[in-house]
Structure 1
Amino acid sequence: MTTSLEGSWSLVLGVSSGMGLAVAQKMAREGGNVIGVHFDTAQGQEKAAVAAEELRSHGVQVHFFNANAASQTTRTDLVPRIAELAGQRGIRVLLHSLAFGTLVPFLPAEGQPGMMPRQMNMTLDVMAHSLVYWTQELHAAKLLRAGSKIYAMTSAGDVKVSSNYGAVSAAKCALEAHVRQLAVELAPHGVAVNALRAGVTVTRSLELIPEHGELVERAAANNPHKRLTRPEDVADAVALLSAADSSWITGNVIGVDGGEVLTA
């Protein structure tokens, strides 16, 4: 059954830029209300405030919180507030788009440190394990209802190796495992859980990868569409998948890359 997203509530973790912002914009254009969590300095907060006002111009409710989405304190503080805002409607869409991890080789290069345990643990906690913890909290608060959709952003780095991407690659593999487990456990509740594997997309997080220039050049040349993936492509996929109550598409890694993985 296809339904309207008008009046629904989306919770976007990582809302201030990239995929998260594009999804928030798409949900607002569809008439959906948006709760966003981001973790920014003063300049980033100003940009987030501007983005929130732009979303409100579509006549929807928008609430952004500048807090560490990977923190238990943040979840403890925000879930009751989210319950107050969403009310009986619950959360239709949860997007996990947290891209904060350590980008260094495992083994030390000359004069440079290698991966430290605290860096590895932080990367997996933020980019993978926090999906489980948010889902647990939202489920306990009865905010995930039949028809709710959970999306986690992964990448082709789950199977490809580059010199600085090891911890993030491990996090993406863990994230996809979490998606499968949550999909099975939430199936009786009618909640779908999927990972979205976007193609190479120019975002703030991509630009932090030392070899990002090479990745962009190769993807632009090889993508069958002859262009890079855009955040809006991901947003369109989220809206399309979220417009149905069915939970029958679940537990998957869904490519949103224009066929990039076929020719990379």
Structure 2
Amino acid sequence: MRFQDKVALVTGAGQGIGRGIAVRLALEGAKVIVADLHDDADSQRTLALMHEAGGEGCVLAADVGRVDAVRAMVAEGARRMGRIDILVNNAGVEHRATFSEVTESDYDRVLDINLKGAFFAAQAFVRHLGESGRGGRIINISSVHEELPFPDFASYSASKGGIKMLMRNLAVELAPLGITVNNVAPGAIRTPINAPLLDDPELLEPLLANIPLKRLGTPRDVAGAVAFLASADADYITGSTIYVDGGLLWDYTEKRVRTNERKTD
């Protein structure tokens, strides 16, 4: 197994893409720390699926929008599992509003979770690795909107653009420590959180028309890219974004999604 004796921490792992990543890493031998806002039925379901796949792990409740909680999450995860080798910054939210209507609290929430949380989780992880002089992997779940404009989601796009530049900067700075840093950028992924889109043909059909592969992605598609970047096969890859979008980035005309707020983890 590729991740035998490795420990991964996956934020936002209670559902959707985060759950898919946690289960895939567990299937390949990793012990996985399932980090989510609450230790609830969703996060426990992820843990159960990991056990069914033959993996081990634990659940940690943490609000990644708070720096003290992020630092405590990494410290507690390392204490429970003995170490952490792979950090997957997956937790994220988005909020729909025209630019003139964005409130400070909405902006702060999106940037705190999507960008600040990933920044300080990476910092805590790097400090943890430094205690033993080990290398490691940082993988951020970004979005095609690190590159593609997203009208009515300015704060979300800003957070993902920030993640893109943070990844590149850390890749250069941390390379001498044996730490690689990369992004996985999903496009339109079939998760329960996207139910309003999936259930509305008027929104879904134009989107599918813009995806060259003519289907939505799945959490499994994203998890496969994460598993690759976390593995020894990607030892010489750092500072890169892998787009998991069916070609959507290169053939896209924006149609505004009429929903309020949805998590992207």
What TM-score does the superposition give when structure 1 sets the normalisation length?
A: 0.84
Does the 8 Å CA contact 2:129/2:135 hold for their aligned counterparts?
Answer: no
How many angstroms apart in 1 are the aligned matches of 2:206 and 2:237? 31
Query: Is the aligned partner of 1:189 residue 2:184?
Result: no
Query: Is the aligned partner of 1:13 residue 2:11?
Result: yes
Query: Is the aligned partner of 1:253 residue 2:241?
Result: yes
Please state how far the C-alpha of 1:215 moved relative to its aligned partner: 5.8
Q: Which residue does 1:149 correspond to in 2?
A: 137
Alignment CA distance shift 1:134-1:126 (3 Å): same
Please state how far the C-alpha of 1:207 moved relative to its aligned partner: 4.9
Q: Which residue does 1:135 correspond to in 2?
A: 122
Please state how far the C-alpha of 1:54 moved relative to its aligned partner: 2.1
**Could you list the runs of 5+ residues in structure 2 that have no partner in the other structure?**
253-265
Please state how far the C-alpha of 1:260 moved relative to its aligned partner: 2.5
Does the 8 Å CA contact 2:70/2:117 hold for their aligned counterparts?
Answer: no
Q: What residue identity is the alignment partner of 1:17?
A: Q
Q: Which residue does 1:22 correspond to in 2?
A: 20
Please state how far the C-alpha of 1:246 moved relative to its aligned partner: 5.3
Does the 8 Å CA contact 2:71/2:121 hold for their aligned counterparts?
Answer: no
1:106-255 map, 5 Å: 106-107=99-100, 114-142=101-129, 147-207=135-195, 216-244=204-232, 247-255=235-243
Does the 8 Å CA contact 1:183/1:193 hold for their aligned counterparts?
Answer: yes
Alignment CA distance shift 1:141-1:255 (3 Å): same
Q: Which residue does 2:70 correspond to in 1?
A: 75
Q: Which residue does 1:34 correspond to in 2?
A: 32
Q: Which residue does 1:48 correspond to in 2?
A: 43
How many angstroms apart in 2 are the aligned matches of 1:252 and 1:214? 34
What TM-score does the superposition give when structure 2 sets the normalisation length?
A: 0.84
Alignment CA distance shift 1:193-1:23 (3 Å): same
**Could you list the runs of 5+ residues in structure 1 that have no partner in the other structure?**
108-113
Count of aligned positions: 251
Does the 8 Å CA contact 1:145/1:191 hold for their aligned counterparts?
Answer: no
Does the 8 Å CA contact 1:105/1:165 hold for their aligned counterparts?
Answer: yes
* RMSD over equivalenced CA pairs, Å: 2.7
* Aligned equivalent of 2:79, options 84, 99, 120: 84
Please state how far the C-alpha of 1:142 moved relative to its aligned partner: 2.2
